[in-house]
Amino acid sequence: MSTSTATGSAQLDATATPPRLRVTGDWTLAHYASLERAIAALRAPLDPGIAIDLAGLGALDTAGASLLAGLLGADRLGSLAQADPSLPAAQRALLQTVGTAMGAYSEAPGKQRHNALADLLARIGAAMANVWHQQIRLLGFIGLTLDTFVRTAWRPGRWRVTSLVAHMEQTGLDAVPIVVLLTFMVGAVVAFLGSTVLADFGATIYTVDLVAYSFLREFGVLLTAILLAGRTASAFTAQIGSMKANEEIDAIRALGLDPMELLVLPRVLAMLATLPMLTFLAMMAGLVGGGLVCALTLDISPLMFINLVKSDIGVRHFLVGIAKAPVFAFLIAVIGCLEGFKVTGSAESVGEHTTSSVVQSIFVVILLDALAALFYMEMGW
């Protein structure tokens, strides 16, 4: 092995037949700059017909081997290192390793220029495809929930009564204060605005009809459903999502139990039972709020308020509003549970799907309420 400490060089002997490239000196990181200039002068990589003489090669490290790979070509460097007996075993192994690595290396393609309009359309298309897949999964989950309900309805021994009562307390009883308070204040605001606008026409008495119509048909069920979409759907997603992240649902399946029967069905039934009751309380609270404003600002006594509601507002308006509650309750519960099952094994995923469940639930509730309003209007109800 050569012990030369001279700076490495690569000299091309064009007079020899065939032309020969003599590689001499130390090819190390310390001489990298001068070696790089020498290689640039030779216009690497060289023609394959040029013979290579590595007999004068001194010290060698990875930096020098990579320069030789650029000069000779990665494949050719590995072949020469394997065939040249004059090289020490360590240098042959280093040259072969670097040649293999350089041969397998490929530069990442340059960043392509994108069209802003094309990118926007692509993102819109991806979002629409995602929404479509979500709706397909939601329909499938609804079918699975109904199938589980039918299978367990005729088997009282498999009913989860304790879980059902606990969820009814969580979704119904605990939500009473916020639902009543919110609808009471909204009823007062609606009455105040109605009296202000109708005063210009001398028809402030119709503020009673405005409050009654709005809360019996729309506001009572809509505000309650939106509140539970934010309060209960998120809770269902977080509960089931945490169990999914902690592999508790896998443990339930390993025990031979059905997660749909154990986790989903009690929550859905609890929502079906409690949302209509909360809707009724919301309607009454809204009417009380509107009646209070009418009594304070319009001199309409509570008794007169009640008589006007009885004479002007039919029971069908109450039925129209309360009929939406079970539909909203079912969809809110199903969406919350489905998003919980979508959670992967991270806390970030729990947060993302909790947010998604709230957004989807509120969107579905408002969409269905708008469609129901159009349907009732066309039917004359």
**266: alpha, beta or left? (left if phi > 0; alpha if psi -120 to 50):** alpha
Give CA separation, 90 vs 66, 87, 93, 95, 357, in Å.
Answer: 15, 8, 5, 9, 62
Sign of the Cα torsion 11, 13, 14, 18 reads negative
- pLDDT of 1 reads 37
- pLDDT of 70 reads 74
Query: What amino acid is encoded at 356 in this protein?
Result: S
- pLDDT of 82 reads 67
Task: Spell out, as residue ranges, where the chain has pLDDT lower than 70.
Answer: 1-5, 14-16, 43-49, 78, 81-85, 103-114
CA distance 164 to 170: 10
- pLDDT of 313 reads 84
Give CA separation, 371 vs 318, 353, 359, 364, in Å.
Answer: 18, 26, 18, 11
Q: What is the pLDDT of residues 90-130, one digit of tens each?
A: 777 777 787 777 766 655 555 666 678 888 888 899 989 98
Q: Which of 357, 291, 364, 341 is nearest to 141 (CA)?
A: 341
Give CA separation, 4 vs 20, 61, 62, 211, in Å.
Answer: 21, 14, 18, 100
Angle between helices 74-83 and 89-104 (to 10 degrees): 160
Residue 332 near residue 231 (C-beta atoms within 8 A): no
Q: Which residues contact 373 (CB under 8 A, 6 or more apart)?
A: 218
Q: Which of 144, 133, 65, 143 is nearest to 100 (CA)?
A: 65
Domain ranges of the chain: 9-104, 129-379
Q: Give yes or no for a cis peptide into 18 (omega within 30° of 0).
A: yes
Residue 7 near residue 31 (C-beta atoms within 8 A): yes
Phi, psi torsion values for 51, nearest 5 degrees: -75, 150
Q: Which of 223, 220, 375 is nearest to 313 (CA)?
A: 220
N-term to C-term CA, the chain: 101
The strands making up 9-13's β-sheet, listed across from edge to edge, are: 9-13, 20-27, 51-60
- pLDDT of 256 reads 85
Q: What is the pLDDT of residues 38-90, one digit of tens each?
A: 777 776 556 666 777 777 777 878 877 777 777 777 777 767 766 666 777 77
Tokens representing 191? 């009455």
| CATH 2.60.40 given to domain 9-104 | no
Angle between helices 62-72 and 32-42 (to 10 degrees): 0
What string of DSSP letters covers 56-123? EEEEE-HHHHHHHHHHH-HHHHHHHHHH-TTS-HHHHHHHHHHHHHHHH--PPPPPPP--HHHHHHHH
